[in-house]
Structure 1
Amino acid sequence: MRALVLALSLGAMPAIAQSVIPVRAIRAEQVVRPSDLSLAQETWPGAISDIADAIGREARVTLYPGRPILAGDLADRAVVDRNQIVLLHYAAGGLAIVTEARALSRGRPGERIRAMNVESRMTIWGTVRPDGTLEVMP
């Protein structure tokens, strides 16, 4: 009780948490812009509380106006699109091979996706690099 009286007498204001909400519907795979967002006075568990954490990221699911944006609803932007021609990099020992492939799904840096070698038509798995190429491991 003394702590409460002391806090009130010092003019301390309680912290007000806010949650980020979209002002319009944002479809999955769309990049979030500053004009798409607003702050709600309510706090929801797991919701993003800073607009800067959402700007420039990609929606994983459709985001509806007035509903809080949860941390899992957003992801880094994909650098590889489905059916995009990408370079495959393979290196083992002293051998290094670079060839073209067609991406069979979208991918963000660090994700493993399937791709089809353009020449041999073989399907392989590769890890997406930040520059949009795929690294194939032995």
Structure 2
Amino acid sequence: MRVPLLVALVLTATPAAALPEGLNGKETAAIVATAMREAGVPGTPPVPIRSLPPCSHRPHVAALNGSWSVAELRCDAPAWKRALRTTAPAVQASRTAGRDAGQETDVTLARPLARGTVLAASDIVAPDEPSLADREWRSAVIGRRLKVALGPGQPVLPRHLEPDWLVTRGGPVAVRVAVGNIEVLAPGEALADAGLGDLVEVRNLSSGAILRATVTARNMAEVRPNMR
């Protein structure tokens, strides 16, 4: 497939030659393994098929959404993010603040909200002297979508929330296109909810074209040349 030229912001503000070469698959796996070992997490990352883009520094490595089952690699200059699945056991992410789906929480709603509402900071009430778990949970639920309607004063529990998709229908997506040594980002809109590694249709907001892209990180997706 011939990838359309997208009117976009080029990631590299300086010539590519001024930056170090991107890490190959084995080098990427090695820095993720080091980060996991330093965090005391069992498991190893698989060797990724594709190399990382150039970066002016050693990429930052962190657990995605609090779980090392997916590692997130981030570069500041030029700005990019990548997600890499690992063999670490999946654990409940920090977005649940250590609570299971049946446990009560002191984080409640300030007003009645319908199913499908995206929670805003003004919708959430924490106790006057919140615990650390309550503060984390209040922060975590902001931006999440309700699976059911809730009334004022009702606790907000994990089972009340839609899955924490990395891209959401109607939400913004930075669409990455790489052709040879040229890499660009275009503003896009997701046409469906999707998780890490899922194929999702996105609308290029510059051209109006509908593209199929692979979700690589939160609000980020990549169009590959062989996609149709």
TM-score between the two structures when normalised by the length of structure 2: 0.33
TM-score between the two structures when normalised by the length of structure 1: 0.47
> Higher Cα Rg: structure 1 or 2?
1
Higher strand share: 1
